[in-house]
Amino acid sequence: EAGVAQSPRYKIIEKRQSVAFWCNPISGHATLYWYQQILGQGPKLLIQFQNNGVVDDSQLPKDRFSAERLKGVDSTLKIQPAKLEDSAVYLCASSPGHSVFYEQYFGPGTRLTVT
Amino acid sequence: GESVGLHLPTLSVQEGDNSIINCAYSNSASDYFIWYKQESGKGPQFIIDIRSNMDKRQGQRVTVLLNKTVKHLSLQIAATQPGDSAVYFCAENQGGKLIFGQGTELSVKP
């Protein structure tokens, strides 16, 4: 079974530029999550999708971050404009169901450096 | 909000020894906990979980203990191997959302 795919793996941009990350979840997984992991910390949930609908985006900084999952499969996370404090690893995870009791499978992440 | 945290940021053990990684949580209403392993350059990987109606759960070489009285969670790894070297996170269910702790880096010496 193929795992969660993410691209790019690494990205370096200057502050105020924009960037987009892509995630392809495990086939058949209805729920998709985006997490932000700052160096030395645990992942923090940004947004959760159930199919193509948003379940929770309470911790997404909506003035600069946006995410979509138009067809209920792939997802993109965008930052515009980026700030220095956005430097982090952005992890995508998927699970078969929306409950937290379903195991979440994580991708390798995209490491973003904002200079 | 309330948070999950770890007592020790780093732990170094000899190969073959047992490892114990600790986690403190502050939300007494939390009903579900997960331990994750994260290797360098990879995403977190599920190790073992436990619900609040249990105080112990065992997997292959791993055991999770839950002490609700003092709000403490631990992960025990038996016969630690070099492949166990990673950062370990505990995560807590808060309102249907996983809240991760800071993480403990486990280093296994050959």
Chain B residues near residue A41 by CB distance under 8 angstroms: 100, 102-103
CA neighbor of B22 nearest in space, from B78, B58, B69, B66:
B66
Cis peptide before A81 (omega within 30 of 0): yes
How far is Cα A4 from Cα A55, in angstroms, rounded to an integer? Answer: 20
Q: Could you list the pLDDT tens digit for every one of the 110 residues in chain B?
A: 344 544 448 999 999 999 999 999 878 899 999 999 999 999 999 999 999 999 999 999 999 999 999 999 999 999 999 999 999 999 999 988 999 988 999 999 99
Chain A residues near residue B43 by CB distance under 8 angstroms: 4, 91, 93, 106-109
User: What is the average pLDDT across A82-110?
Assistant: 96
Band of residue A1 on the pLDDT scale cut at 50, 70, 90: low
pLDDT of residue B4: 55
pLDDT of residue B97: 92
DSSP string, chain B: ---EE-S-SEEEEETTS-EEEEEEE--TT--EEEEEEE-TTS--EEEEEEETT-SEEE-SSEEEEEETTTTEEEEEESS--GGG-EEEEEEEEETTEEEE---EEEEEE-
State the nearest Cα–Cα gap between A80 and chain B, in angstroms: 24
Work out whether strand A31-37 and strand A44-50 pair parallel, antiparallel, or are unpaired.
antiparallel
pLDDT of residue A98: 87
Of B41, B89, B93, nearest to A100 by CB-CB distance is B93
pLDDT of residue B20: 97
pLDDT of residue B47: 97
Of residues B6 and A104, which shows the higher confidence score? A104
Q: What is the pLDDT of residues A7-60, one digit of tens each?
A: 999 999 999 999 999 999 999 999 999 999 998 899 999 999 999 899 999 999
State the nearest Cα–Cα gap between A109 and chain B, in angstroms: 6
**pLDDT averaged over chain A?**
96
